[in-house]
A and B are shown apart, each in its own frame.
Chain A
Amino acid sequence: MELQFTAEENAFRNEARDFFRSALPDAIRNRVQRGQHLAKEDIVAWQRILNKKGWATPMWPVELGGTGWDAVRYFIYKEEMTRANAPEPLGMNVHMVGPVIINFGTDEQKQFFLPKVQNLDIWFCQGFSEPGSGSDLASLKTSAVRDGDHYVINGQKIWTSGAHRADWMFGLFRTDPNAKKQRGISYILLDMKSAGVTVRPIITMDHGHTVNEVFFDNVRVPVKNLIGEENKGWSYAKFLLGNERVGIARVGFSAGRIAYAKAIAARTVVDGRPLAEHPRFREKMALIEVELKALEITNMMVVAGMKKSGPTQDPRTSVLKLKGTEIQQALCEILLEIAGPAALAHEHAFLEGSDELITAPEWNATAAPNYFRVRAATIYGGTSEVQRNVVAKGVLGL
């Protein structure tokens, strides 16, 4: 057992820290730190900066643009990136569709998509969930019927994050209505500009527009956009669920939020002195820091295990998701508590990236909407209840 980072790893951390400090545009850093929504251009710009450095898709195979880092280095990279208030590279591209194309795509698909996915020339959205199929995803109904060398798609997806920004969708569609649930599903890439695709916004509690409904009305998709084999889509989708283990706990992000909370608390006066000096506030922070430290160590154990044996189905990853999201939520609650009455006003323009404020100080203005929004963290990517079911069955054998 070796609980310390090696000298090389520490050197790498310094390099990463330096890079993120100098390469991240101030405007983007500020927006992330204040909890504002990023414009599409912000995300694209940053991903391209990363790509230029060769750090856009670290975990991809080296020949396709990966860095060849082991899990520990990748962990350090993620930690430093989030700590620097840099946006994370678009998960849909980097962790979700990219690896699936790499593993199951045809050569043409790889050639066409991977460079664009990496450089965010193509923005992907995920078309999995449907109105009747959330946790029970395998019950999905949107159908793709073969017609010559096209599929004709009809049905509806829901909760599609970024569909309004996306160029393409990777989706799960039912190609065999007679097969049992999981077995008749295919994984298809679909151009969002295709005729018959309609995107309708869904506004969430933060008054923000991230998710959408997507309707398909006889949408024709070339068969060459099928990934792997027909009716095998479920296994590809499952493959990618195991993909973003290292960063799923978002320890670095939470550490950044803690630092931010402390900074804000230092300038918030309560009963005549800074909130940061109140024992109760300090104890509250200390408690969450203890939780985060425990999670960080678990995370490093998982990471070290992956370094030795490659991606595995380590049951502790469910703990990473469960605790990681809980801590993110708790931190948003703390930021809201710090804001207090300054969170009441609806500072929508500021949330959307404007510098203009109606009344709230800039460091409090996004506290409420971000608190509302983060409630989704225990819902998407497998709800906390479903995670617990997974652990009960997979780990405890219940």
Chain B
Amino acid sequence: MDLRFTSEEIAFRAEVRDFFESNLPPDIRRKQVLGQRLAKEDIVNWQRILNKKGWACPLWPVEYGGTGWDAVRYFIFKEESYRAYAPDALSHNITQSGPVICAFGTPEQKEFFLPKLRNMDIWMCQGFSEPGSGSDLASLKTRAVREGDHYIINGQKLWTTNGHRADWMYGLVRTSTDGKKQAGISYLLIDMKSPGVQVRPVVTLDNDHHTNETFFENVKVPVSNLIGEENKGWSIAKFALGNERAGIAKVGLSKARLALVKALAQRVEADGRPLAESPRFREKMALIETELKALEITNMMVVAAMAKGGSKQDPRTSVLKLKGSELQQATTELMLEVAGPHAMANQHEFLEARTGETVGPDWAGTSSPNYYFNRAVSIFGGSSEIQHNIVAKAVLGL
């Protein structure tokens, strides 16, 4: 057992840190630090910078643009990325549809999609959830009926994040009602410009437009956009779930936020001295930092096992998701507490980075909407309750 990073890994960290420091555009960094929303161009722009460096999709197979890093290096890469306040890569492109196409796509699909996904020439959205199918995703009803070389799609998706920004959707649709509900689902790529696709905004608690309802009315999708076999979509979608394990806890993100909270607490006065000096505040921070440290070590243990080719079913993955989302939420709560009364004004234009003007200090201007929106972290990607169910069954045998 050796609990330290190797000297190569430490050198790698320095390289990554250097790269982020010199290549992340300052305006993007500033928005990230302030908790403002990024424009579509910001995200595309950054992804292309990464792509030029060859770091756009580290975990893909090398022949499709991956870096060949082991899990430890990927972990370091993510950590440094958060530390630098770089935006996360669009998961729908990079950890979801990309790896699925790498693994299950036809040569034509690979050739067409992979370079575009990597470079964000195509923006993908995810069409899984439906009004009646959230945690019980396999009950989904949106129909795809085969007609010649096309599927005809009818139905509705819900919570489609960035449906309004997206060029394509990777969706789960029902191609059969026979047998088990999981067995009649197919994984389809759908051009969002197809006639009959309609996207309607769903505004979330942060008064912002992230998610959408997507309606399908006789939408024609070429059969060549089917991924893998018909009715095998469920296992394909599950394959992608295990993908983001190394980064699922977002330890680096929480770390960066805690560092920021600490810096901000030095600027806030409480009872005549900086909040950062109040023992109570410090103890609250220390407790969360302790939790985060524990999670970080767990994460490293998972990563080290992955680097050795460990099994995909590591039970600790659910711990990572559960505690990771708890801590992300805790950091946004802390930010809100530091902001105090400055969190009260509704500063939507500032959140959207359409103005630099704020009521009160700029750093506090986004604290409340970001707190609200982070409540979603324990809902999507398998809610915390579902994670509990998974561990209870798979690990504890209950």
A and B, direct touch (CB closer than 8 Å): yes
Contact residues, B253-294 vs A (CB, 8 A) = 279-280, 283
Q: In whole angstroms, how far apart are the Cα atoms of A279 and B282 in the complex?
A: 13
Residue on B nearest A278 in the bound complex, by CB: B279
Contact residues, A222-279 vs B (CB, 8 A) = 279
The reply to whether the CB of A280 lies closer than 8 angstroms to some CB of chain B is: yes
Q: In whole angstroms, how far apart are the Cα atoms of A283 and B283 in the complex?
A: 12
B280 cross-chain contacts in A, Cβ below 8 A:
279-280, 283
Contact residues, A268-323 vs B (CB, 8 A) = 279-280, 283
Residue on A nearest B283 in the bound complex, by CB: A280
B279 cross-chain contacts in A, Cβ below 8 A:
279-280
Q: In whole angstroms, how far apart are the Cα atoms of A20 and B280 in the complex?
A: 40
A283 cross-chain contacts in B, Cβ below 8 A:
280
Q: In whole angstroms, how far apart are the Cα atoms of A197 and B280 in the complex?
A: 58
Residue on B nearest A283 in the bound complex, by CB: B280
B283 cross-chain contacts in A, Cβ below 8 A:
280
> Within the complex, what minimum Cβ distance (angstroms) separates A300 from chain B?
31
> Within the complex, what minimum Cβ distance (angstroms) separates B361 from chain A?
27
Q: In whole angstroms, how far apart are the Cα atoms of A279 and B279 in the complex?
A: 8
Total interface residues on A, using CB and 8 Å?
3
Q: In whole angstroms, how far apart are the Cα atoms of A92 and B199 in the complex?
A: 66
Contact residues, A26-72 vs B (CB, 8 A) = none
> Within the complex, what minimum Cβ distance (angstroms) separates A3 from chain B?
30
A280 cross-chain contacts in B, Cβ below 8 A:
279-280, 283
> Within the complex, what minimum Cβ distance (angstroms) separates B388 from chain A?
15
A279 cross-chain contacts in B, Cβ below 8 A:
279-280
Q: In whole angstroms, how far apart are the Cα atoms of A280 and B280 in the complex?
A: 7
> Within the complex, what minimum Cβ distance (angstroms) separates B271 from chain A?
11
Q: In whole angstroms, how far apart are the Cα atoms of A283 and B279 in the complex?
A: 11
Q: In whole angstroms, how far apart are the Cα atoms of A279 and B280 in the complex?
A: 8
> Within the complex, what minimum Cβ distance (angstroms) separates B290 from chain A?
16
Contact residues, B40-89 vs A (CB, 8 A) = none
Q: In whole angstroms, how far apart are the Cα atoms of A280 and B279 in the complex?
A: 8
Q: In whole angstroms, how far apart are the Cα atoms of A141 and B375 in the complex?
A: 49
Q: In whole angstroms, how far apart are the Cα atoms of A242 and B280 in the complex?
A: 43
> Within the complex, what minimum Cβ distance (angstroms) separates A240 from chain B?
35
Q: In whole angstroms, how far apart are the Cα atoms of A280 and B283 in the complex?
A: 9
Q: In whole angstroms, how far apart are the Cα atoms of A283 and B280 in the complex?
A: 9
Q: In whole angstroms, how far apart are the Cα atoms of A279 and B277 in the complex?
A: 14
Q: In whole angstroms, how far apart are the Cα atoms of A185 and B360 in the complex?
A: 70
> Within the complex, what minimum Cβ distance (angstroms) separates A279 from chain B?
6
Q: In whole angstroms, how far apart are the Cα atoms of A297 and B280 in the complex?
A: 29
Q: In whole angstroms, how far apart are the Cα atoms of A335 and B280 in the complex?
A: 21
> Within the complex, what minimum Cβ distance (angstroms) separates B313 from chain A?
30
> Within the complex, what minimum Cβ distance (angstroms) separates B304 from chain A?
37
Q: In whole angstroms, how far apart are the Cα atoms of A386 and B36 in the complex?
A: 46
Contact residues, A308-356 vs B (CB, 8 A) = none
> Within the complex, what minimum Cβ distance (angstroms) separates A93 from chain B?
41
Residue on A nearest B279 in the bound complex, by CB: A279
> Within the complex, what minimum Cβ distance (angstroms) separates A272 from chain B?
16
Q: In whole angstroms, how far apart are the Cα atoms of A222 and B388 in the complex?
A: 53
Q: In whole angstroms, how far apart are the Cα atoms of A331 and B283 in the complex?
A: 21
Contact residues, A163-197 vs B (CB, 8 A) = none
> Within the complex, what minimum Cβ distance (angstroms) separates A100 from chain B?
39
Q: In whole angstroms, how far apart are the Cα atoms of A280 and B281 in the complex?
A: 11
> Within the complex, what minimum Cβ distance (angstroms) separates A122 from chain B?
46
Q: In whole angstroms, how far apart are the Cα atoms of A161 and B378 in the complex?
A: 44
Q: In whole angstroms, how far apart are the Cα atoms of A279 and B283 in the complex?
A: 12
> Within the complex, what minimum Cβ distance (angstroms) separates B278 from chain A?
9
Contact with A along B95-120 (1 / 0, CB 8 A): 00000000000000000000000000
> Within the complex, what minimum Cβ distance (angstroms) separates A284 from chain B?
11
> Within the complex, what minimum Cβ distance (angstroms) separates A273 from chain B?
14
Q: In whole angstroms, how far apart are the Cα atoms of A280 and B278 in the complex?
A: 11
> Within the complex, what minimum Cβ distance (angstroms) separates B287 from chain A?
12
> Within the complex, what minimum Cβ distance (angstroms) separates A280 from chain B?
7
Residue on A nearest B278 in the bound complex, by CB: A279
> Within the complex, what minimum Cβ distance (angstroms) separates A276 from chain B?
16
> Within the complex, what minimum Cβ distance (angstroms) separates A50 from chain B?
45
Q: In whole angstroms, how far apart are the Cα atoms of A283 and B278 in the complex?
A: 13
Q: In whole angstroms, how far apart are the Cα atoms of A50 and B279 in the complex?
A: 49
Q: In whole angstroms, how far apart are the Cα atoms of A280 and B286 in the complex?
A: 14
Contact with A along B208-244 (1 / 0, CB 8 A): 0000000000000000000000000000000000000
Contact residues, A329-385 vs B (CB, 8 A) = none
> Within the complex, what minimum Cβ distance (angstroms) separates A337 from chain B?
14
Q: In whole angstroms, how far apart are the Cα atoms of A42 and B283 in the complex?
A: 45
> Within the complex, what minimum Cβ distance (angstroms) separates A275 from chain B?
14
Q: In whole angstroms, how far apart are the Cα atoms of A221 and B375 in the complex?
A: 62
> Within the complex, what minimum Cβ distance (angstroms) separates A282 from chain B?
10
> Within the complex, what minimum Cβ distance (angstroms) separates B253 from chain A?
29
> Within the complex, what minimum Cβ distance (angstroms) separates B395 from chain A?
21
> Within the complex, what minimum Cβ distance (angstroms) separates B275 from chain A?
14
Contact residues, B189-206 vs A (CB, 8 A) = none
Q: In whole angstroms, how far apart are the Cα atoms of A283 and B281 in the complex?
A: 12
> Within the complex, what minimum Cβ distance (angstroms) separates A184 from chain B?
32
Contact with A along B298-309 (1 / 0, CB 8 A): 000000000000
> Within the complex, what minimum Cβ distance (angstroms) separates A133 from chain B?
22
> Within the complex, what minimum Cβ distance (angstroms) separates B5 from chain A?
36
> Within the complex, what minimum Cβ distance (angstroms) separates B194 from chain A?
43
Q: In whole angstroms, how far apart are the Cα atoms of A268 and B283 in the complex?
A: 22
Ordered by A's residue number, 6 sampled pairs between the chains whose C-beta atoms are within 8 Å are A279-B279, A279-B280, A280-B279, A280-B280, A280-B283, A283-B280
| Residue ranges of B at the interface with A (Cβ–Cβ < 8 Å) | 279-280, 283
| Residue ranges of A at the interface with B (Cβ–Cβ < 8 Å) | 279-280, 283
Nearest 4 A/B pairs, CB to CB: A279-B279, A283-B280, A279-B280, A280-B279
